[in-house]
Structure 1
Amino acid sequence: MRRFRTIAATSAFALALTALAAAPASAFTTGTSGESGEQEYVVLFTAGTSSAAAKAAVTAAGGTIVSENTDVGVATVRTTDAGFEAQALAQGAIEGTAQNRIIADVPDDAVSGEEAKKIDEAEAETRAGGGATPAAPAAAAKGKGAALTAEPLAPLQWDMQQIGATVDGSYKVEPGSKKVLVGILDTGVDGTHPDIAPNFDNAKSRNFTVDIPYDANGDVIDGPCEDEADGSCTDAANVDEDGHGTHVASTIGSPINGIGIAGVAPNVTLVNLRAGQDSGYFFLQPSIDALTYAGKIGVDVVNMSYYLDPWLFNCASNPADSLEDQQEQQTIVKAMQRALDYARVRGVTLVSAAGNGATDYTKVLSDSSSPDFADVEGEVAYPRDLLDPATCISMPSEGKGVISVSSTGVSKRKAYYSDYGNGYIDVAAPGGDVYDTPTNTRDIGKAILAAYPKALALESGAIDEAGNVLVDGVVKSCDAAGTTCGYYQYLQGTSMASPHATGVAALIVSKYGIPDVIRGGKYLPAAIVDARLRQTAVDTACPTPAAFTYTRITPAGATITATHTCEGNLKQNGFYGNGIISALKAVGK
């Protein structure tokens, strides 16, 4: 997935999920549509460059600054000069450039009608349908003071049981603090969902993206802006037309409110920091702006379940890439790392999904998916083999200071799709594995259940106008009075594992954080949160033998096998890092 290709566990026709939306434009808005022959670039300035010197350098190179993020020395620049890149790199004040992805002006006769969204093989097979286990009656448990009662769908949350985030586990020790802010860098969050709204901070939420209708090949990306409800290319901060960001937010912080599920940290505050397009692409400038904003407003933890497009692996000097593409990839890594550093030094703990490519990131790599976005007509992905993992990295998961999370199934095995690697994986968390069954056949209930936007469920045909569920993999839950109902879907992926770790990190800040006298709320250095998360993770050894063979029998009857080799020891290895996270141990038990 571009957002690490989340593997949907719903029926095929139930998940014709499209775009998404988020907040009112922020102070970091990028450009809108470009004139014919006009290009936009993200320009990285040399450290210490003044704003005046930066402007002068851009002007000398033939460009105009559209917006500037002075916190990390990055600007969005527009130009009609075909020689801009070379001229920019000749300026001492400019360290690098990368093409920015903006609204494309595509002639009507060039529009192909094809969608540029990607669905990988694992996602496609999990969309083939399959039954979901019905909810059992909710259990009750005694807490400190008032009794805590499990949510109606808690029996379906094997993931929370795996990490001890239950009413008789971490919830009664530390359910999280409203003073702790968790940022969701994703495709948006449905802030009106009844199992998100009580914890959603609409005022602090932002959308850092602008819709991209088509790419240069005429393929549909986010779709025509006039098709949006408001007819614009800028979406609101409490909308999610994709469902991915809402699912992530729900796993982190759905409240205990008598509806649906509870998240890992049911009392924390959720902030939508939208960095992803409706179509699931994630580009450099929105991610940078979201991270610097998070650092400014006092966000404590951010979840990043995606990789930066258009390159799965950003290589410094891969011979298969042109010099221009090499330079762009270098710029992406440097600029993103600046933003990660900016946020982390201000107390933002950085958590990222490891990826769903079933790949050992510490071995020689290959990539046939990049570049996955056409900036110029005719541009397509091409094979990139023998990639050196020391010089080809995926961002943000391989960024310095970022906690990379692999995915486990219900049996605690590493999920069949999860990327891995000794030294790459920091911790593991439940992300679902629908083939983690005694018969190696598919069971949707072995994926992760979390909130699903009602508007999207209606649009995709998952429910009817009366609110009745029509497909497998979608669950409805109502309050005791039956007047307020929410919808939930099963998804699997490292995108689902990462928010479990994010939730535990938020609990750590809630439990051990001190008052933030500058920005309000709580504060705990990211290094301390990181260390506590790792130290309290449950040591999990490599399988025996270490070369583990996965067998999957698809709904069509095909048998697929793959072998992944785990390297390392009990304390640290390529499948689990420092272990499977534990919400209960992290807060002191």
Structure 2
Amino acid sequence: MGALAAGSLLTGAASAGAAPAKGTAAEYLVFYAPGARDDALAAIKGAGGTPGAVDAKLGYVLARGAGAGFAERLGASASIVGVTADRRIGAATSLAASGASRTASTSTAAASAATTGAAASTAGADPLSSRQWDMKMIGATASGSYAKARGNKKVLVGIIDTGVDGKHPDIAPNFNRALSRNFVTDRPNDPNGKELDGPCEVKSCKDPADVDDDGHGTHVASTIGSPLNGLGVAGVAPDVSLVNIRAGTDSGFFFLKPVLDALTYAGDAGIDVVNMSFFVDPWTFNCANNPQDSRAEQLQQKGVITGVQRALDYARARGVTLITALGNGSTDLGHPTVDKESPGYPLGGERERKIDNSCVNVPAESRGVISVSALGPSGRKAWYSDYGIEQTDLSAPGGDPSDSGTSLKGNAREILAAAPEKALRRQKLIDASGKPTGPSVVRDCRNGRCAYYQYLSGTSMASPHAAGVAAILVARFGKPGKGGLALAPATVERLLYATATPTACPASGSTRYSVSEETHVCAGSRAKNGFYGHGIVSASRAATVKG
């Protein structure tokens, strides 16, 4: 999406749009129909390609093919259901400040830049808990869920994101290094020579599994499960195990294959809950049969829809509860009409096309996922958050700098969570001495330890609240299983909805957002509507509900 008053939106910032140039060989993920592997291999050869590794779990072949017509030739076979080039195709869904890091805070004033040696934490709270209005909203406080249910180290929460800083002092006590994996090889530049991830930090260009050079994934992990340790902040479920399942690049973009690999690994490793604060595809909306798209583009979108759905189904069948950010497009996903942001790659390739509700945002509108909208501190739907009565399952605090229905100001209206020092230095958000250069970053120092925290907004910040509540439920009701505890995703989903706080649409049925000059209409009842879904997630209710 384009730059707006509060910053640019990342739900369509990068992609894998066009086919390779004529005569240029490229790698494709070729998805075949059930039982049609052999026919697909023959079709690849018949189209002039070379088949490679076969992923029998998700039903696709890695193939090399040359020429702009390779995908179309493949698509002529009844055995092929999708053909997607294995290139950069996704983006993390947090907001970004104009001219700053893509995960930097979007607002300007208010909170102090550093807290060094401040008052000690109160019983059952951490020193910066007073800044966590989000935890108060869902009852994750000393007098709420912390007193009754904090999760369990046997509960494994996977963060499919840009990585997790496993050495961060407010992440490390709960970081499961043994199970963490990185499925991404950084790319210094894109195919056109423009900088993507920048210089590789290690020779192999594949970072260790405890590194986050972007900061997005660390913020998400912190919201889910930063420990109650007398430093900084605490997460929704401060006693769970955090597992980095990295699928995003340093620059915050995602490739299809790492996403598929991450979801498959989550199912195989016994992960209980995964948080997906990203969307996949160069197309903000994936349309399988849009007549305005070329045949190659249709096949590409079918490949993403099919591949991600198969990976989600694989993980869910193995006990993984799937939670995702709804998106920052400020759009009623039940009634989309125009997509002006796609395909976002190669750069400058965007065009306007008419769309309808047959077009979907992946994974937010995929089957079997729990999609979460974002709220500001007043409880109002955040201006940027996507919505829709079919699509919104739950709501949670995600921050909104424009929310005037609260006494909080500026950055204090956003979500505060852990940030990697290295990423902040690169973004020039802290200076050479370690002092924050602005109000979007907070430093907390205790007993010779210092750690950094960042204010961010986005549906990326909302979904980890739901993931944390899901982890509490798994800890309370799960039975011994692979990896530790296990609870059927359908049961987790039922309990999440049952413990959410039902919230009605605005009295007028709509909300006017001055920052975007839009009116968003909320449809549905108090029990289920387009802004809040089944309600606002509640850690305190999850801590006391009877299974």
Q: Same fold (TM over 0.5)?
A: yes
Q: Secondary structure at the match of 1:383?
A: strand
State yes or no: 1:381 paired with 2:350: yes
Residue in structure 2 matched with residue 201 of structure 1 by the alignment: 176
Residue in structure 2 matched with residue 368 of structure 1 by the alignment: 340
CA distance in 1, matches of 2:455, 2:7: 7
- Whether the 8 Å CA contact 1:57–1:91 is kept in 2: the answer is yes
- Alignment identity in percent? 49
The code of the aligned residue for 2:84 comes to: A
Distance 1:122 1:207, change over 3 A: closer
Residue in structure 1 matched with residue 520 of structure 2 by the alignment: 564
Matched length: 526
Comparing 469-478 with 291-300, greater Cα deviation is found at 469-478
Out of 444, 448, 467, the residue aligned to residue 502 of structure 1 is: 467
Distance 1:117 1:167, change over 3 A: closer
- Whether the 8 Å CA contact 2:277–2:325 is kept in 1: the answer is yes
Q: Secondary structure at the match of 2:111?
A: coil
Shift, 1:459, TM fit: 1.7
- Whether the 8 Å CA contact 1:122–1:417 is kept in 2: the answer is no
State yes or no: 1:422 paired with 2:389: yes
CA distance in 1, matches of 2:252, 2:206: 15
CA distance in 2, matches of 1:121, 1:264: 22
Residue in structure 1 matched with residue 251 of structure 2 by the alignment: 279
- Whether the 8 Å CA contact 2:28–2:85 is kept in 1: the answer is yes
The code of the aligned residue for 1:450 comes to: A
Distance 1:440 1:172, change over 3 A: closer
Out of 139, 144, 151, the residue aligned to residue 176 of structure 1 is: 151
How do residues 495-534 of structure 1 correspond to structure 2 at under 5 angstroms?
495-516=460-481, 519-534=482-497
State yes or no: 1:489 paired with 2:454: yes
- Whether the 8 Å CA contact 2:160–2:262 is kept in 1: the answer is yes
CA distance in 1, matches of 2:176, 2:310: 27
State yes or no: 1:188 paired with 2:156: no
- Whether the 8 Å CA contact 1:8–1:491 is kept in 2: the answer is no
Q: Secondary structure at the match of 2:455?
A: strand
Out of 322, 325, 328, the residue aligned to residue 297 of structure 2 is: 325
CA distance in 1, matches of 2:415, 2:408: 17
The code of the aligned residue for 1:94 comes to: I
Residue in structure 1 matched with residue 98 of structure 2 by the alignment: 124
Residue in structure 2 matched with residue 45 of structure 1 by the alignment: 32
Residue in structure 2 matched with residue 246 of structure 1 by the alignment: 218
How do residues 187-586 of structure 1 correspond to structure 2 at under 5 angstroms?
187-223=162-198, 227-374=199-346, 380-385=349-354, 387-389=355-357, 391-438=358-405, 443-479=410-446, 481=447, 483-516=448-481, 519-552=482-515, 561-586=517-542
- Whether the 8 Å CA contact 1:539–1:580 is kept in 2: the answer is yes
The code of the aligned residue for 2:533 comes to: G
Q: Secondary structure at the match of 1:368?
A: strand
Taking only aligned residues, the RMSD between alpha carbons, in angstroms, comes to: 2.9
Shift, 1:184, TM fit: 0.7
Shift, 1:63, TM fit: 2.7
Distance 1:336 1:268, change over 3 A: same
- Whether the 8 Å CA contact 2:92–2:278 is kept in 1: the answer is no
Shift, 1:157, TM fit: 0.5
Q: Deviations over 1:169-195 (max 9, x none)?
A: 111211111111111111111111111
Q: Deviations over 1:429-465 (max 9, x none)?
A: 0001112135899611010000010111122222233
CA distance in 1, matches of 2:339, 2:369: 22
CA distance in 1, matches of 2:51, 2:216: 33
The code of the aligned residue for 1:316 comes to: A
- Whether the 8 Å CA contact 1:117–1:221 is kept in 2: the answer is no
CA distance in 2, matches of 1:449, 1:570: 29
Out of 116, 124, 140, the residue aligned to residue 122 of structure 2 is: 140
Q: TM-score, normalised by structure 2?
A: 0.89
Out of 62, 69, 79, the residue aligned to residue 48 of structure 2 is: 62
Distance 1:239 1:66, change over 3 A: farther
- Whether the 8 Å CA contact 1:130–1:472 is kept in 2: the answer is yes
Q: Deviations over 1:455-476 (max 9, x none)?
A: 1112222223332222211001
Distance 1:348 1:584, change over 3 A: same
CA distance in 1, matches of 2:48, 2:268: 32
The code of the aligned residue for 2:197 comes to: D
Shift, 1:71, TM fit: 1.1
Shift, 1:485, TM fit: 1.1
Q: Deviations over 1:256-299 (max 9, x none)?
A: 11111111111111111111122222222111111011000000
- Whether the 8 Å CA contact 1:217–1:379 is kept in 2: the answer is no
- Whether the 8 Å CA contact 1:63–1:81 is kept in 2: the answer is no
Distance 1:362 1:438, change over 3 A: closer
The code of the aligned residue for 2:139 comes to: G
Q: Secondary structure at the match of 2:253?
A: coil
How do residues 7-86 of structure 1 correspond to structure 2 at under 5 angstroms?
37-50=24-37, 55-80=41-66, 83-86=69-72
Out of 536, 543, 546, the residue aligned to residue 587 of structure 1 is: 543
Distance 1:421 1:282, change over 3 A: same
The code of the aligned residue for 2:508 comes to: P
CA distance in 1, matches of 2:22, 2:262: 27
Shift, 1:65, TM fit: 3.9
Q: Secondary structure at the match of 1:42?
A: strand
